């Protein structure tokens, strides 16, 4: 059996939560390998709805959850999330959750700088959530980050805070924002240490043992390929690599351990925040997609921008993300639309492109080239087999497969876990 890595194939919010939850029931361990609490997964299980930001989705299935070294961890947010899901009946203990000891911490000064810089951008905002993820990754690369292991060493914390505050208080003062006290930050970190350290360990060692024992490992990505800091619509991207290759580096395993790469894509397209969106709809159809799909960010609550399915974008994500199969979600949102459009490429300043170029000006100027298909009148909501789908819906799915050059291996027709059509089990490789 192969391990499976799940990544978004658009701009995030593709319904990864349900798919990961469904796959987690077949896995032994679920690993988060990048991002922070700026991304969210919504899981609907029976009459319970779980909103997770840092916790691996497998915990809902009583599976071992691991937060890898590629994740930046806000300890306050993590502890609050643990308490919230405990109140919903989940058991979260150091036996069920492990965190990489070399994961970077998000401190209060990170969101403060994040928000101050975003405000200073004025009309040129990137659309960050303001939760400090970007500054935390900057510290990691600049080799001044405080990591979970440092919580066990008060002298190390004290010395590292000196360096951090020299950097951050200078920036914050320049932006006209209140600065931070070392004594206050150090006291809070020492207070948090005994609450966080029981979860910490060298998770690479545990994962190696699990792999050698033949356990099924599910790697859970946050955000999506087109928000990748290298391959996305830069600078309107997240601050980490979101492609499947990061699953290895972000968890401490070799690349051969990643296994089958499953990309999640909606049957249409959405995006939260700023940045190019060639197929965005500003009309009644766009509003209808948003209303039917309940398109609001899990973490931010911001309404998502909605548009037609962009096959050129997803094909690009398939190539750079290493996607071997697609899980297509929210097909039922398209029920009853008389016609559907699929973007097959772009016209940019009179020239045809099969992909979005890297230059921001070209991305902003991209005009979609559409292929129109007939819609369907019968409902796909709750379908659990191909026989339950209208013929035209099947044609739509097949056309997407052709255009993105990847097979649909899972098809989701409602938020419920059971309303899933399995074409190929990703764990079978």
For 256-313, the pLDDT digits (tens) are: 999 999 999 999 999 988 899 999 999 999 999 999 998 986 666 778 999 999 999 9
Q: Is 41 a known active-site residue?
A: yes
Domain end, chosen from 196, 216, 248, is at 196
**Residues 108 and 142 both lie in one domain:** yes
Q: Is 302 found in the same domain as 418?
A: yes
For residue 12, pLDDT over 80 is answered with yes
Instruction: Verify that 111 and 161 share a domain, yes or no.
Output: yes
* 317 and 179 in a common domain: no
CA pair distance 331, 335, nearest whole angstrom: 8
Is pLDDT at 401 greater than 70 in this prediction? yes
Q: How much is the average pLDDT of 116-125?
A: 82
CATH value at residue 123:
1.10.300.10
16 vs 427 pLDDT, higher one: 427
Catalytic residue among 37, 41, 110, 231: 41
Does 420 lie in the same domain as 291? yes
Query: pLDDT tens, 56-112?
Result: 988 988 899 999 999 999 999 999 999 999 999 899 999 999 999 999 999 999 999
Q: Are residues 172 and 117 in the same domain?
A: yes
Q: State whether 141 and 91 are in the same domain.
A: no
CATH number at residue 422: 3.90.170.10
Percent of residues, the chain, with pLDDT higher than 70: 98
Query: Do 87 and 110 have their domain in common?
Result: no
242 and 292: one domain?
Answer: no
- Mark whether 372 and 305 lie in a shared domain: yes
Q: What pTM did the predictor assign?
A: 0.92
Host domain of residue 340: 265-428
Q: Poorest-confidence range of 28-42, 94-108, 163-177? A: 28-42
- Same domain flag for 92 and 154: no
- Residue 417: what pLDDT? 76
Confidence (pLDDT) at 299: 62
Which CATH number belongs to the domain containing residue 74 in this structure? Answer: 3.40.440.10
Query: What confidence category does residue 152 fall into, taking pLDDT thresholds of 50, 70 and 90?
Result: very high
Alpha carbon distance 66, 98 (integer Å): 5
Q: 275 vs 168, 226, 278, CA distance in Å?
A: 27, 11, 10
The reply to whether 155 and 232 lie within a common domain is no
Is residue 388 pLDDT above 90, yes or no? yes
Task: Judge whether 41 and 221 are in contact, CB under 8 Å.
Answer: no
323-368, pLDDT tens digit by residue? Answer: 999 999 999 999 999 999 999 999 999 999 999 999 999 999 999 9
> What pLDDT score does 123 carry?
77
Count: domains in the chain: 3
Supply the pLDDT for residue 298: 62
């Amino acid at each position: 059996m192969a391990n499976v890595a799940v990544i978004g194939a658009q701009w995030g919010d593709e319904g990864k939560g349900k798919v990961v939850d469904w796959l987690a029931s077949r896995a032994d361990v679920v690993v988060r390998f990048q991002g922070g609490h700026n991304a969210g997964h919504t899981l609907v299980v029976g009459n319970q709805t779980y909103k997770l930001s840092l916790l691996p989705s497998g915990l809902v299935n009583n599976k071992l959850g691991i937060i890898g070294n590629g994740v930046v961890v806000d300890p306050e947010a993590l502890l609050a999330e643990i308490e919230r899901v405990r109140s919903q009946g989940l058991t979260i203990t150091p036996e069920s959750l492990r965190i990489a000891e070399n994961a970077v911490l998000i401190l209060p000064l990170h969101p403060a700088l994040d928000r101050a810089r975003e405000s200073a951008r004025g009309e040129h905002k990137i659309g960050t959530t303001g939760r400090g993820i970007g500054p935390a990754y900057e510290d990691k690369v600049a080799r001044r980050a405080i990591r979970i292991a440092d919580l066990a060493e008060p002298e190390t914390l004290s010395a590292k805070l000196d360096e951090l505050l020299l950097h951050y208080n200078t920036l914050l003062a320049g932006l006209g924002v209140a600065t931070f006290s070392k004594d206050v930050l150090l006291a809070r970190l020492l207070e948090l240490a005994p609450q966080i350290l029981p979860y910490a360990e060298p998770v690479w060692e545990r994962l190696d043992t699990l792999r050698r024992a033949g356990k099924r490992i599910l790697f859970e990505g946050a955000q999506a390929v087109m928000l990748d800091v290298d391959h996305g619509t830069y600078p309107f991207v997240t601050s980490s690599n979101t492609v499947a290759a990061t699953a290895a580096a972000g968890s401490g395993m070799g690349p051969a351990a990643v296994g089958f790469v499953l990309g999640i894509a909606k049957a249409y397209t959405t995006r939260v925040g700023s940045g190019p969106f060639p197929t965005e709809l500003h009309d009644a159809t766009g509003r209808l997609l948003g209303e039917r799909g309940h398109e609001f960010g899990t973490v931010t609550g911001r309404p998502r921008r909605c548009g037609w399915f962009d096959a050129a974008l997803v094909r690009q994500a398939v190539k750079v993300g290493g996607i071997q199969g697609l899980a297509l979600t929210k097909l039922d949102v398209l029920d009853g639309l008389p016609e559907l459009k699929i973007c097959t490429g772009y016209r940019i300043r009179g020239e045809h492109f099969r992909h979005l170029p890297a230059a921001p000006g070209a991305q902003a100027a991209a005009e979609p080239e559409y292929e129109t298909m007939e819609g369907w009148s019968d409902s796909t909501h709750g379908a659990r087999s191909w026989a339950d789908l209208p013929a035209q819906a099947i044609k739509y799915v097949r056309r997407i497969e052709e255009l993105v050059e990847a097979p649909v291996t899972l098809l989701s027709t409602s938020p419920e876990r059971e309303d899933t059509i399995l074409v190929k089990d990703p764990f079978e490789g």
